[in-house]
Structure 1
């Protein structure tokens, strides 16, 4: 088994360090679940009502993470587009 000094040396040499932050991980998981749920609701609306412009207007205008969900769905970067709004 490696000593603590050997482990530190590995981190310094190989730049491989993983810091586990449970609070951040929980918040980020909640954020991702929010995006997923937003997209599932949109999917269900489209399946039930057909594709309508008003669904996207509501998604962007009323949902907290609506724009981010739409950008994730289309594969666009969030940082590039939020600065333009």
Structure 2
């Protein structure tokens, strides 16, 4: 009977250990899922910011180019309506 009792206690301990391991696994899985969701949101935010920054840089480049053209034309020619219209196009 003592051997049966020892086996029964061992079985109970193993079952409790398995349940504890399953709970820990579930907890860590949920934690990883939530962290992955946060990373996904952060990545989306970063991608949008990058797109905005690229658009801003492209716009600044276009403005710089237009100003350089205007400055060059202004220094080399007299200012007339045709030159102003070309600048604004």
TM-score band, normalised by shorter chain: 0.3 to 0.5
Higher helix share: 2
TM-score by length of structure 1 reads 0.44
Higher relative contact order (CA 8 A, sep 6+): 1
TM-score by length of structure 2 reads 0.42
| Max Rg structure | 2
